[in-house]
Structure 1
Amino acid sequence: MDIPRIFTISESEHRIHNPFTPEKYATLGRVLRMKPGTRILDLGSGSGEMLCTWSRDYGITGVGIDMSPLFTAQAKLRAEALGVAAYVHFMHNDASGYIADEKCDVAACVGATWIAGGVGGTIALLAKSLKPGGIMLIGEPYWRQLPATDEDAKACGASALADFLTLPQLVASFGERGYDVVEMVLADQEGWDRYEAAKWLTLRRWLAENPDDEFAAEVRETLTVAPERHVTWTREYLGWGVFALMAR
């Protein structure tokens, strides 16, 4: 069980596997008014930066689930480095059907709603692990501006224009599902640059170290097209944010 190899390679040096910066995660923790002992479930936890830094800064406890062995191992090392390994725990597992044994104060899926077939399925999944009155966190892309065609949408990393909503449509969709949006923190273009551009140096160094690997041609193709694609499409057309929801 693992994610596609191109992500394992390109994001192997990332601590954050989405367009958020450390400052954005700090802002999110602050505006959510985290209290010591807050229990969090994070599905698709990546390298654990959210849980680890929030445990250090706000005294939360939590569990993170991710299907990448590499990222899970990195999350455990990060917890040890920040001195919070007794409070946050990470498991290599399929998050798509994971339900917490003990209901949580916060249930999150930040940038991995594909695990349950999209936003609606992810909300339904997270609700099974959330205490009454708890907060749900959904991290999701949205269109900053609509691409003209499905081909343009694919250049942004979507499979079709219909994959994402505009920001007003996305916020409205939460209400239609019976949830109040009680906070939100949005990524910016600098965050997209840090997420996307950081991959390019990693890919280039991997190619230098692995010129004869059978995967080298795909890595070379990705590195060749990624910078221009990013500045032309992703950076201009895609937004991304984390939305805090509470059931009505």
Structure 2
Amino acid sequence: MDLPRSFVIREGDLRILNPFDAGKLDTLGRALKLAPGTSILDLCSGKGELLCTWARDHGVFGTGVDISTAFTAAARQRAAELGVTDQVRFVHGDAASYVPDESVDVAACVGATWIGDGVPGTLEILARWLRPGGMALVGEPYWRIDPPDQATVEACHATSRDDFRDLPGLVGLFGELGWDVVEMVLADQDSWDRYSAAHWLNLRRWLDDNPQDPLAAELRQELTEDPLRHVRYRRDHLGWGVFALIRR
């Protein structure tokens, strides 16, 4: 059970594996008014930056679960770098089926709602492990501008327009599912640029060092095509944000 090697290559030395930068992650932590001792379960925790920096800055405790062995190892290393190994732990496993030892104050799935086949199913997973009055964090794309054609849809990692909603539609969906939206922090075009463009440099450095690797042709094509795809389609059409929700 692991992610394909291409994911590890593409993400390279990035610490935040979504279109948030460190400032936005910090803004989110401060906006949530996290009290020392807050317990967090982070499903699909990536390299653990959310848990590690919030443990350092806010005194939270938590567990991160991710399917990638490489990302889990990087998260453990990050916890050691920040001196928070006594506050956070990271588990290699299937986030959708993980069972924590006890319920938590905050349950998060930031950018991986595929674990529940979409937002409704993911919120069901998060709700299982929340204490009464606890908070769910969901990171999810939305259409900034209605995609004009199928080429735009596919360039934004979707198969149809219906894969994502616009921002009012997404916020409305949370309400339809019985949750109050109590905070949100949205990516912007600059943070999208920083995330996407970092992939290109990671890919180029890897290609220079590994020209004969079996993945080289596939990743060479990605590097050739993705910068134009980003500026032509994703940058204007696709938004992304993290939404804090409390059950009604």
Confirm or deny a common fold (TM above 0.5).
yes
Q: Is the 8 A contact 1:99 1:128 kept in 2?
A: no
Q: Deviation per CA, 1:44-69: give whole Å up to 9, x if none.
A: 00000000000000000000000011
Number of residues paired by the alignment?
248
Which residue number corresponds to residue 108 of structure 1?
A: 108
> 1-side partners of 2:232 and 2:23: how far apart?
26
Task: Report the secondary structure of 2:96's partner residue.
Answer: helix
> 2-side partners of 1:150 and 1:243: how far apart?
27
Q: Is the 8 A contact 1:99 1:125 kept in 2?
A: no
Structure 1 segments of 4 or more deviating over 2 A? none
RMSD, matched Cα: 0.8
Q: Deviation per CA, 1:40-94: give whole Å up to 9, x if none.
A: 0000000000000000000000000000111100000000000001100001101
Stretch deviating more after TM superposition (7-16 or 122-131): 7-16
Q: Which runs of 5+ in 1 are unaligned?
A: none
Task: Report the secondary structure of 1:97's partner residue.
Answer: coil
Which residue number corresponds to residue 153 of structure 1?
A: 153
Which residue number corresponds to residue 189 of structure 1?
A: 189
Task: Report the secondary structure of 1:198's partner residue.
Answer: helix
Which residue number corresponds to residue 82 of structure 1?
A: 82
> 1-side partners of 2:6 and 2:196: how far apart?
13
Give the CA deviation at 1:155.
Answer: 1.2
Q: TM-score, normalised by structure 2?
A: 0.98
Identical residues among aligned pairs (%) = 58
Q: Is the 8 A contact 1:204 1:223 kept in 2?
A: yes
> 1-side partners of 2:199 and 2:2: how far apart?
19
Which residue number corresponds to residue 163 of structure 2?
A: 163
Give the CA deviation at 1:4.
Answer: 2.6
Q: TM-score, normalised by structure 1?
A: 0.98
Which residue number corresponds to residue 37 of structure 2?
A: 37
Task: Report the secondary structure of 1:106's partner residue.
Answer: strand
Which residue number corresponds to residue 242 of structure 2?
A: 242
Stretch deviating more after TM superposition (148-157 or 169-178): 148-157
> 1-side partners of 2:16 and 2:155: how far apart?
23
Note the 1:15-164 alignment, pairs <5 A.
Answer: 15-164=15-164
Give the CA deviation at 1:99.
Answer: 2.8
Stretch deviating more after TM superposition (144-153 or 211-220): 144-153
